[in-house]
Structure 1
Amino acid sequence: MDADYRELLQRRFLGNLPQCDADKRVSLAEAIADHIRPGQKIHMAHTNSRPYGLMHEIIRQYWQKDPQFEIAMLSFADSCVALFLGGMLKKVVTTLVGDLWPSPSPNPFVNEAWLSGAVEIEHWSILSYAERLLAGALRLPFLVTRSMVGTTMAADNQAAGTFQEIDDPFGSKDKVGLVSAYRPDISLIHVAACDCAGNAIITAPLGESALGPYAAKEGVILSTDAIVSTDYLRRNNHLVKIPASIVKAVVELPMGSHPRGVTNVGVPELTQYAEDYQYMYEVNWAARRGKEALIEWIDEWILSCETHDAFIEKLGAERVKRLRGKAQANVWFEETLSAATGELGENDRHGELPVGADSFLGSEMMLVAAARKQAELVRELKLKNILAGVGAANLSAWLASHKLQDTGHAVQIMAEVGYYGYEPRPGDPYIFNFKNTPTCIMTSDILNILGQMVPNGMNLGSLGAAQVDRLANFNSTCIPGKMHLLGSGGGNDVATNSKAVVVTAYLGKGKFKENVDYITSPGTNVRCVATDYGIFEKPPGEEELVLTTYYTSGPTGFANAEEAVAKIRSHVGWDLVVSQHLTAMEAPSQEELYILRLYDPFKQFLR
């Protein structure tokens, strides 16, 4: 080789690869003070983690200053209520807002802000929300969706100019939706690791991944559990999702996702920690005790912690150690054994595993009935997947998977943030608990699970509902002018796009109405509604729910069909149609009950 070529080859290419460029590390307070301003549209990313450390600093700096923020976040829960109480919000763009742990429920201060008009809540389904961010990231004005069509959400957002329903221009005779692009001013995200310039790893499941950061007009404020070398990122470049070029500031913030967690899937040498259920429960309980109690909690855990280090010190070394331990894959076995001894859970309930099948709860009967129907539909329709929604409905899907395995029918359980083929671990019924993550066959993201897997003709949806009507439309969002419930989450996407859907809902005249007060999800694909008193079904081609099954034992069992029909009819707000082949369902078996109880020993749903 020519000497000049050799010299250039050695000088340019044989040295070490360049490290990160400009060091963007700043303090937490500086990052918020320098890049957050009143009136901004702020996106807070929802991956396997959340940017709660960054959010809490916003709360400290803007408490009661009326900054009129518009904040987009996939779900507002836990300490997000401080944004409402602290007078910081003009509008939220979301799929779900309320309390999620120990069970999904409305939050009184969200409800108050919504009813008074102080805060506008713009509702989307999870997939349509992600599609709006994707359109923003691609710099497109809109994207096409199948979700939300025909719902109250669609009507509301069409009136706001962010959604349109149109006929398929290519002649399928179907209606499709157009979602407008969402481009926040700035995006906040917490990641497992990054270098000093902001090239960042997002560990699985990815949730919405980096759609928000790419859509943001001004860039990204990034907090991280660990600063690593650029060489480390090159060795793990399949996990790097954010380039430094779009990052404005990097904040080193160990446990910056707390009370949510961070996984280390794919990079076991990185740290991980599980959700802090105790913290989540305490803020939700404070909200139920009234404004004074909630302000006291916010002051203690957010406002008076002047730095993130002070907050971690307040948590204490033992609590941090416990959260890291709870993220380990094999800890579920010991936790379940402890629950069986009556240990006090983080929802202030003692663990309990009742013996025998002679006595059981109405909720247990409902979930067993739903699981039996799910197993029937999976076999009948030759389905391959079940998307289990947050709440009690996931327990029925988990039980159905056992019943299907027992008959040699393989089925994979999915969850919207990116779980595929997971095997739920006992002891903790929260769908995204960290013991479930390592059991996944595949981890991906919202667009894959809700956008590709659910509509593929092989999925059964298992969903819960607050209200159901005679056409099987259901509501989980609000009762206009009276109460804000939660929102769609992924429910609309699953209901709209699954081959078949099974809904679980407690029976009641205010809950089973001629027409629901708000259509969150259409009833088109609903095949069965399992309640605590009986089962309604809607055969293919039929529009109206028909009572097909009643129970013969337990607290909601009946001595005969006549008694069952009379009682159930009194709880339904329409002229109920009863099947000519009304059947009686036998009591749960001991094994069915024991599986449910092992999943939920602290009675989060079985009560």
Structure 2
Amino acid sequence: MAVEFCSLTEAVERHVRPGDALNVVLGHSRWSALLREVVRQHWQQPSGFTLQMASLSSLGAVLFRAGCVRKVVTVYSGDSFPTFTPNPVFQQAYESGAVEVENWSFLTYIQRLRAAATGMPAAVTTSVRGSSMAAQDAYDEVDTAFGRVSLVEPLVPDVAILHSAVADRLGNLAIAPPMFEGSVAAFAARRGVLATVEKVVDDLRPWAGLVRVPAHRVLAVVECPYGAHPGGVYPGGLPVDGYDEDREYWIEVREASRRADFDDWIKEWILGPATQDEYLAKLGRTRLRALSAAAGGRRPEQPAIDPAPATTVGERAAVWAAGQLVDRIRDLGADTVLAGAGLANLAAWAGVARAHDQGMPVVLAAELGLWDYSPVDADPMIFSFHNFPTARMLMDTEQILGVLVNGPGSCAIACVGAAELDRHGNINTTRIEGGPYLVGSGGGNDVITNADETLVVTTMSPRRFVDRCSYVTSPGDRVRTVVTDAGVLTKRDGELVLTHVTPEYGDVAAGIEFARSRCGWELAVHPEVALLPEVTGADAVPLRNYDRNGVFLGRAGGGAS
């Protein structure tokens, strides 16, 4: 059957049905104007969609408010800009039961899609085992002649929705990496793909290496400039102009989702514009030109590095973590460091830069699909489009997490954060027993479970450091070191023990007392506890160079915090 070239309205009217399982392919773009049209047509309708979307982000809350989603299969239910935080719309929907949630890690989510795409009854995984996610029906462990094997059930969408940079007139779709979950959902979907594209060209054969979806899997194509907004498009050599993510818009959505008038915002920005042209007119040419210019490398003037001599608790923890990371890179001969988001990301960047200065050939990896990249100045976001051109390899999450980081051919260190952590190093980033929903695993479970070693960096408090995690997102078997603003905990005989303390209180005894006061269990103390070095503003400069607005580090200008 020939691919339809049609409008947003026609694509959704003809191919999205009540009760469908809709898979939203994120790639590096995160969004498609087709989702705006799904909300428009199914607003407050009992459509009963199952939403398969690895990272919901702030705009996922719009789909929840539409009332047309009954279940979500996801990896991350939270905001991404300006920081990675829980979102109250998701929290309330999950707590009330209005939306059922099924939580997975990035790798198992993709492996489930690949099982569906290849017609297999299950996919083998090395993730999830030992976590609370293992209790879900779509996971099992079986004894085989080859040993005990963990399996995940196929994840089958009815329709996959994605934004592609370019299509040809036959309906083949080209997308440049990095690609997050790749194009596997296009092959897993029962009926096929709905795609928005920046541009339709006569022939894609000059770019055949970037064609990810063949025309026979495509139901409809909508030529839709800026169709990924507020996501962006990295052209990667394709015959199309790219544009950066609109972070201001993402932040606007995040703030609106926390207000009582969120539906008014949705009516203005989602339900109101009847066409893409109307939506772009509302954004305005100045805003769109700035996004295109940013994709071309023309960034607005950045603030100067904060010269304050005082340091924040986050800065102190990150500086110490960077030092610990350098030691472990050297001791293990590590090939790569994969960092989580936020403070852990900054510590990893600073630690790897320091390792390079000492002649170690370790590289940075990011689960989106970046290998051996160099983070740009004045941008603390791990998935920034400005980092893409610096990478020596661009690929997808399955290749990064499933092969290069988790496989036996590489020695990898994970540097991550934790919302909740217990004495055995188990980490919870999903939900608090009797409390709120957090965000989910992201790639945390995959890398913490499978990396050769894990270093955790976070600030210490009794609420964060608990005796037992009520939900285990990532088992702590490979957590070796936990670096905090109060000191360093190191794994000894399966339990975290205090080995270093902050110099802030003058001596080791006072430092031990402070660390114990910040811990939710009876913290064991190593017989030879060492004082950590003082951290000055100068020590924090490499971190501040990335995070000049103090998004993750906090602001030191007003003194230590």
Relative to the length of structure 2, the TM-score reads 0.96
Aligned mates of 2:179, 2:79 — CA distance in 1: 22
1:481 deviation in Å? 3.9
Say if 2:118 is the partner of 1:147: no
Give 3-state SS (helix, strand or coil) of 1:452's partner: helix
Candidates 191, 196, 215, aligned match of 2:164: 191
Larger radius of gyration: 1
Corresponding residue of 1:13: none
Query: Which of 507, 510, 513 is the aligned partner of 1:566?
Result: 513
Aligned with residue 301 of structure 1, among 231, 253, 269: 269
Q: Is the 8 A contact 1:328 1:435 kept in 2?
A: no
Say whether residues 1:203 and 2:155 are aligned partners: no
Q: What amino acid is aligned across from residue 209 of structure 2 in structure 1?
A: H
Q: In 2 relative to 1, CA 423–168 (structure 1 residues): closer, same or farther, beyond 3 Å?
A: farther
* Structure 1 residue 439, shift from structure 2 partner: 0.1
Q: Is 1:529 aligned to 2:482, yes or no? A: yes
Classify the secondary structure of the residue corresponding to 1:562.
helix
Greater shift, 50-59 or 516-525, is seen at 50-59
1:168 Cα offset (Å): 5.5
Residue 176 in structure 1 maps to residue 152 in structure 2: no
Counterpart for residue 584 of structure 1 = 531
Q: Aligned residue for 1:279?
A: 249
2:391 is aligned to 440
Partner residue, 1:550: 501
Question: Which amino acid is the alignment partner of residue 311 of structure 1?
Answer: Y
Equivalences for residues 302-341 of structure 1 within 5 A: 302-329=270-297, 331=298, 335=300, 337-340=301-304
CA shift for structure 1 position 37: 1.2
- Distance in 1 (alpha carbons) for counterparts of 2:36 and 2:100: 21
- The Cα of 1:204 is off from its aligned counterpart by 0.9
Contact 1:339 1:601 in 2 (8 A): yes
Partner of 2:228: 257
Letter in 1 for 2:288: V
Residue equivalent to 2:341? 390
Match of 1:118 in 2: 98
Q: How does 1:104-503 map to 2 (within 5 A)?
A: 104-155=84-135, 157=136, 161-167=137-143, 169-171=145-147, 175-230=148-203, 233-267=204-238, 269-288=239-258, 290-292=259-261, 294-329=262-297, 331=298, 335=300, 337-340=301-304, 353-356=305-308, 358-455=309-406, 456=408, 457-503=410-456
Q: Is the 8 A contact 2:369 2:395 kept in 1?
A: yes
Residue identity in the other structure for 1:517: S
Indicate if the aligned counterparts of 1:368 and 1:396 stay in contact, CA closer than 8 A. yes
The Cα of 1:590 is off from its aligned counterpart by 4.9
485-494 vs 449-458, which moves further: 449-458
Match among 55, 74, 78 for residue 98 of structure 1: 78
Cα distance, 1:338 vs structure 2: 3.0
Provide the rounded CA distance (Å) in 1 between the counterparts of 2:403 and 2:491: 26
Aligned equivalent of 2:459, options 503, 506, 523: 506
Instruction: State the Cα distance separating 1:328 from its structure 2 match.
Output: 2.4
Q: Deviations over 1:268-305 (max 9, x none)?
A: x42111111100101111222x222x112111111111
- How far residue 266 of structure 1 moved from its aligned partner, in angstroms, is 2.8
**Partner Cα separation in structure 2 for residue 220 and residue 470 of structure 1:** 46
Structure 1 residue 479: Cα displacement: 1.1
Q: 2:522 aligns with which of 562, 575, 578?
A: 575
Name the counterpart of 1:83: 63
Question: Does the aligned pair in 2 maintain the 1:470–1:574 contact within 8 Å?
Answer: yes
The CA deviation at 1:420 is: 0.3
Structure 1 unaligned blocks of 5 or more: 1-20, 341-352
- SS of the residue corresponding to residue 56 of structure 1 reads helix
Computed over aligned residues only, the root mean square deviation of the Cα atoms, in angstroms, reads 1.4
Structure 2's unaligned 5+ residue stretches are: 555-561
SS of the equivalent of 2:38 reads helix
Shift of 1:196: 2.6
SS of alignment partner, residue 43 of structure 1: strand
Maintained 8 Å contact 1:115/1:481: no
Contact in 1 for aligned 2:414/2:453 (Cα 8 Å) = yes
Counterpart contact for 1:196–1:250, Cα < 8 Å: no
How far residue 589 of structure 1 moved from its aligned partner, in angstroms, is: 5.1
Aligned length: 552
Write the distance in 1 (CA, Å) between the matches of 2:533 and 2:347. Answer: 17
Alignment correspondent of 2:472: 519
CA contact (8 A) 2:32 2:196 kept: no
How far 1:190 moved relative to its partner?
0.6
Instruction: Name 1:39's counterpart in structure 2.
Output: 19
Aligned letter for 1:543? G
3-state SS in 2 of match to 1:435 = helix
SS of residue matched to 1:545: strand
Paired residue type of 1:325? A
Question: In structure 2, do the counterparts of structure 1 residues 467 and 242 end up closer, same or farther at CA, with 3 Å as the change threshold?
Answer: same
What amino acid does structure 1 have at the position aligned with 2:50?
E
Give the direction of change, closer, same or farther, for the CA distance of 1:68–1:575 in structure 2 (3 Å limit): same
Work out whether residues 133 and 181 of structure 1, in 8 Å CA contact, stay in contact via their aligned partners in 2: yes
CA offset digits 1:25-58 (Å, max 9, x no partner): 0110000011111111010102112342111110
Task: Provide the residue aligned with 1:73 in structure 2.
Answer: 53
For residues 591 and 394 of structure 1, the distance between their equivalents in structure 2, rounded to whole angstroms, comes to 19
Distance in 1 (alpha carbons) for counterparts of 2:400 and 2:302: 34
**C-alpha contact 2:310 2:536 (8 A) present in aligned 1:** no
- When the two structures are superposed, what TM-score results if normalisation uses the length of structure 1? 0.89
**Kept in 2: contact 1:24–1:197 (CA 8 A):** no
Hey, what's the Cα distance between the residues in 2 that align with 1:313 and 1:535? 53
State the SS of the aligned residue for 2:315: helix
Identity among equivalent pairs (%): 38
Distance in 2, matches of 1:109 and 1:579, equals 44
Q: CA–CA distance in 2 between the matches of 1:506 and 1:61?
A: 45
CA–CA distance in 1 between the matches of 2:143 and 2:377?
Answer: 46
- Map Cα deviations across residues 489-529 of structure 1 (whole Å, 9 max, x no partner): 00000001100111112211121111112100011111111
Rounded Cα–Cα distance in structure 2 between residues aligned with 1:383 and 1:589: 28
**Residue 23 of structure 1: how far off its partner (Å):** 5.4
